Structure 1
């Protein structure tokens, strides 16, 4: 294997520069495709939502939302308080979509996760239009339009509109639509200098009113299975009252206020993006993108806090006249508690990214240098409390000791902050020989944040508050306490090294190591406690084999991924009283060892099969908490080496597809094995299949029709974890036990028409 000195020094220099991995073209037929994107993972096939991208498990706990990029920059600066999926969905106005690899995400974004990629359709030298219409058996109506046209002298215009009106399968009694989403997009483009220079100006307006509630009661049998409770049909019956009015305590002023859920829940965003591309005559390419984003998000989230049983002396009464019961009448029986988060958040961003790419004269090196300059201002006012309602379809609100809300603002949050990120990165992909391919990248990010909040404990380990007036007691409000200031700054490095060595025709070894360091962000400063300021270190290492034939591509790898100082503010429910809920900051580590095999088969014309098998062992590490409830009870818990909740040990994906004549038949089967409900690992859900399938018919070159089925096995099983059960240790009483949780989408038939002209 002959390698010249210049190549060695160039690759070594890439290891010492702030860098990022970018793959190059495949130089030999023995190569495993090595790109910045991951193939064969349809992120829009989501068993929980029809217009949100799914999160692909990497062995770490899932976040609130997938990271989503559009036109080279993140849709939202961070996942909170403005969740990216509130302002984005896959539409006809997207010319391409993909999935960023873990290493690429670490270098360009400073995070180790699969990032959704999307690019807005721009105009060209001819007129084109795309119209999609979708409906389903629950009367969902989705209209999706995109048109592009040349304007002359290198100018072109592209415009799109997306409207989704979805009543949902469970027809909530207090709203007309579970999802009301509208997106308007426009792109003005100019091409000059014989096509080597291009300027794109993008605008996006998004409005989203997400009022869905995928919760319901069921009987937990005790062996991981569930049964229907009292005729309640999971996925078809609503579990929120028809009366959508909520009375809460304002976290800023302490005033008691009443809102209507359907009017108080909405998100709105405007973004303006400029993109400039230039191809130099020497083969280098420059890409500069800058965006201003203005977003607001108001939530009335009501996650479950637990099911309890009220006696005549428990203090529960009907909040209003309901089904023959009078307002104030004593309630007995099962009630469901919800931990309400009535949040008002905002985000203002100015994000800029610049990249310069090129190749060496001998085409062995594919290099890239880049810089990010991100500025963000964000804030949140979170009013919290516990609400209770009856356990039945379209239930009624209850009062507890005369109040609709109790434990008001014991989890109240406030912050008004700014963040800046300045990062330099670079990468080099090196085809060292016909057998050896290497890649390396580094990133150095200067990260600063500061602002105002209302902390009581100025050190994460304090037992005595510095400002007792900021302790979150019942009916807490910011105006009764005092504002506090904070300012922090860190350097966050990230890096990746990967390689591939061909041993024989189509067969070889591959390996990858990814590292990223992170530190607390604004949302970690929202509560009364100073967060743990220690480094968050994420390590991913994997190695394995690849094997390619004319009809098969196989990759099999073992991996280890870990993350330290995983932070959250979590609600814990008193095991002895479902209405007693406390919010505490928790910090822990996670480590997962696994083995994944990915295979693509094309044994005969028209047929493709993708299969994936993952076996993993996700574990909590260094996870100890001490919980104190309002009834005076307290207990220390140690979750170290417990299996991570909501993460399966076995994951299977089977994706066959067959095309013939004008038809295409496809299916997707996803299996997730047993998932633990609680951190004590005493309760669990059995494994489940998520299933999708469909038939596409290409009527002519302009019109195609599709009929799709979601959950065609019509599984009713529950999914995810239930925080209300987190602390349960003695499960002897939890056989045939009434509880509540989330569930996957029920059996759904969907019809799609696509018109291209």
Structure 2
């Protein structure tokens, strides 16, 4: 169920906008020269959530979360099961924030993606404080504070507190707050030898209850557009029952448990980070960062699993008294199915990164050597099931054949694993001539992993039970059979080369190549069969021009990115019977060709405009499946050269900003063209704009105010999937089709006050 989980969690808990001041970066010469960080990208502007960083498309399927670095190390060792955004948010406690470039991410992390970079405020030699308060038209209450000051003899401190009480825009009947997050930080700093030596010790505690549910029903018209269903207000009405009780079969024991959704969600994190930075007399700099991280994540996700229409003979009844109906009354009509994921995940890891940097005597070379030693223990118990409720605002749970849960643990997971990454990397930025600049880096990673799990099948293709005939995907539980141990060791290389050649003043050529290899991690061993162990290879190549003038910085490039062996477990529905669903482990490649132009304009004082245009063609490659359904039908499908689902072919970003006197007016407009719903490319959602804007007013150097608007155009931004349509080519049955999906935040006005002292 990994791909189902990926798509659903992305839409359920995606990413938005407290830090509008990051919307533009002033035009600087390092638009080209800086290869380590990426400018002019709205890190914290997200249309779906207001306290998480957005993910930036590079033409490959998105991950569950953005990769987030804090103080030189990842917030979470793995993205799953402890998602990094549960323990991190942009706040006054950060002194800087940006994006790690694709090449830098490959060298430092072995992955090709943009990663958020953040640094916690260090101690100061003079007392200073920063206090932020944010509210919005839906009664958000967010308090954010950071204090720093001296102690004595080069020692200093910083303290931070953050609390976010967000009821959400759609008032859910079973909870008070969609997000209830509290985070506390403390830092102790020491400087010596005239500031050449610096030591920092950071502590973070985070506690988060993330209970939001950004889903709702609507009518899919059939031409890419949607319309309202039965008066349901997307973004305003809740689509979960007020009775939050969930009954499920425990994946560990096979016994029945009952919890409330509110009581079953809790993410907690303690981390301690030590950093030593020392600059030697010869100019070389040594930076060592080490962190111990302790995190738990208890989750109850109610993801969408499709809609249906029940007759009296289908076995659906009301689970309790509701709207004039008695518990046990037969239900007839439209219902919505939910795929419940009751995850209990944990991680304990120790990560250390060391870097030594320096320059050659003639300053032509800026070199770096580094090492990672990362160790992780983690595990998961994933309980799954399907549930049904009525389709209306604040609906009611339904029972099916007398039970709230059905298809129990068909996606059940369990593992208790450990991983070790020992990596060495090196890079060099070389000014070869006055016109030619070259940067190159390599990484070699020894990756060992192992642990124990409970597999019901021998492997992903030969589903021969390895134990207990009653674990063939139905009511799967760990105690049904023996626990199996697994162990693997791999070598993961990565490399990047980046060059620039100046033809004339301010004008020249740029080119870049990035490569990374990855192998399965512990999560891949969580399911009921052995995963496919083939390596994932990612290649990115791009080339183009740059053009710099006193009022313009422009880069325009063509690119090709490929990822092999993209692995997922995907549900396919029998086109002849919507209740006949099979889960198939699939492996395919993805390839995207594109053209991107990024420009920053500063035509007159105070005005900055950032624009980005991406035209791309993301396609499946080597994607052949055979679906065998329970009614005996079998059909093979070839999705080669089909456009990947959920990825747009055209992306536009427009970010104007104007600063005058004590005011700053800004806006950000992002466009995504149509996205395909199914792999046959026969159904799609129309393109949409995501719009933001605001006014900042600095009364003086101590006090400022801002008013921000989210979703200025009040678009619905609907997206989702129709499982029964993934294999269909004749879409006549999907005109004016009732479905449920996700949406972006409705029109929202935010108010913020900032105090600096």
TM (normalized to structure 1)?
A: 0.95
**Contact persistence 1:306–1:573 (CA under 8 A):** no
Tell which deviates more after alignment, 569-578 or 284-293: 569-578
1:408-442 per-residue CA deviation (whole Å, 9 max, x = no partner) reads 01111100000000000000000011100001000
Q: What residue in structure 1 maps to residue 279 of structure 2?
A: 279
Q: What residue in structure 2 maps to residue 202 of structure 1?
A: 202
Q: What residue in structure 2 maps to residue 584 of structure 1?
A: 584
Q: CA deviation at 1:724?
A: 5.6
Q: What residue in structure 1 maps to residue 571 of structure 2?
A: 571
Q: CA deviation at 1:493?
A: 0.1
Q: CA deviation at 1:173?
A: 0.5
Q: What residue in structure 1 maps to residue 357 of structure 2?
A: 357
Q: Kindly tell me: are residues 230 and 475 of structure 1, through their superposed partners in 2, closer, same or farther at Cα, counting changes over 3 Å?
A: same
Q: What residue in structure 1 maps to residue 641 of structure 2?
A: 641
**Contact persistence 2:460–2:585 (CA under 8 A):** no
Q: Kindly tell me: are residues 251 and 582 of structure 1, through their superposed partners in 2, closer, same or farther at Cα, counting changes over 3 Å?
A: farther
Q: CA deviation at 1:192?
A: 1.1
Q: What residue in structure 2 maps to residue 618 of structure 1?
A: 618
Q: What residue in structure 2 maps to residue 683 of structure 1?
A: 683
C-alpha distance in 1 between matches for 2:588 and 2:627: 15
Q: Kindly tell me: are residues 31 and 66 of structure 1, through their superposed partners in 2, closer, same or farther at Cα, counting changes over 3 Å?
A: closer
**Contact persistence 1:29–1:506 (CA under 8 A):** no
Q: CA deviation at 1:637?
A: 2.8
1:1-49 per-residue CA deviation (whole Å, 9 max, x = no partner) reads xxxxxxxxxxxxxxxxxxxxxxxxxxx9798232300000011100011
Aligned length in residues: 730
Q: Tell me, yes or no, if structure 1 residue 63 matches structure 2 residue 85.
A: no
Q: How do residues 126-165 of structure 1 correspond to structure 2 at under 5 angstroms?
A: 126-165=126-165
Q: What residue in structure 1 maps to residue 21 of structure 2?
A: none
Q: CA deviation at 1:467?
A: 3.3
1:365-388 per-residue CA deviation (whole Å, 9 max, x = no partner) reads 000000000000110101111000
**Contact persistence 1:226–1:717 (CA under 8 A):** no
1:328-383 per-residue CA deviation (whole Å, 9 max, x = no partner) reads 11111110011111110000100000000000000000000000000001101011
Q: What residue in structure 1 maps to residue 121 of structure 2?
A: 121
**Contact persistence 2:468–2:480 (CA under 8 A):** no
Q: What SS does the aligned partner of 2:314 have?
A: coil
**Contact persistence 2:677–2:685 (CA under 8 A):** yes
**Contact persistence 1:410–1:582 (CA under 8 A):** no
Q: What residue in structure 2 maps to residue 18 of structure 1?
A: none
Q: Tell me, yes or no, if structure 1 residue 425 matches structure 2 residue 414.
A: no
Q: What SS does the aligned partner of 1:107 have?
A: helix
Q: What residue in structure 2 maps to residue 258 of structure 1?
A: 258
Q: Kindly tell me: are residues 634 and 235 of structure 1, through their superposed partners in 2, closer, same or farther at Cα, counting changes over 3 Å?
A: farther
Q: How do residues 258-657 of structure 1 correspond to structure 2 at under 5 angstroms?
A: 258-467=258-467, 469=469, 471-575=471-575, 580-629=580-629, 634-657=634-657
Tell which deviates more after alignment, 675-684 or 244-253: 675-684
C-alpha distance in 2 between matches for 1:265 and 1:725: 32
1:698-724 per-residue CA deviation (whole Å, 9 max, x = no partner) reads 111100100000001001230354556
**Contact persistence 1:646–1:721 (CA under 8 A):** no
Q: How do residues 720-735 of structure 1 correspond to structure 2 at under 5 angstroms?
A: 720-723=720-723, 725-735=725-735
Q: CA deviation at 1:544?
A: 0.1
C-alpha distance in 2 between matches for 1:564 and 1:238: 40
C-alpha distance in 1 between matches for 2:320 and 2:41: 49
TM (normalized to structure 2)?
A: 0.95
**Contact persistence 1:269–1:293 (CA under 8 A):** yes
1:618-654 per-residue CA deviation (whole Å, 9 max, x = no partner) reads 0111122333455665543322211111100000000
Tell which deviates more after alignment, 29-38 or 118-127: 29-38
Q: Kindly tell me: are residues 533 and 563 of structure 1, through their superposed partners in 2, closer, same or farther at Cα, counting changes over 3 Å?
A: same
C-alpha distance in 2 between matches for 1:137 and 1:571: 39
Q: What residue in structure 2 maps to residue 25 of structure 1?
A: none
Q: Kindly tell me: are residues 51 and 587 of structure 1, through their superposed partners in 2, closer, same or farther at Cα, counting changes over 3 Å?
A: same
**Aligned-CA RMSD value:** 1.5
1:304-340 per-residue CA deviation (whole Å, 9 max, x = no partner) reads 1101111111111111100001111111111001111
**Contact persistence 2:111–2:516 (CA under 8 A):** yes
C-alpha distance in 1 between matches for 2:335 and 2:31: 60
1:273-332 per-residue CA deviation (whole Å, 9 max, x = no partner) reads 000000000000000000000000011111111011111111111111000011111111
Q: CA deviation at 1:195?
A: 1.2
**Contact persistence 2:450–2:486 (CA under 8 A):** yes
1:115-158 per-residue CA deviation (whole Å, 9 max, x = no partner) reads 00000001121000000000000000000000001001000010
1:441-469 per-residue CA deviation (whole Å, 9 max, x = no partner) reads 00000001000011233344324333354
C-alpha distance in 2 between matches for 1:661 and 1:115: 35
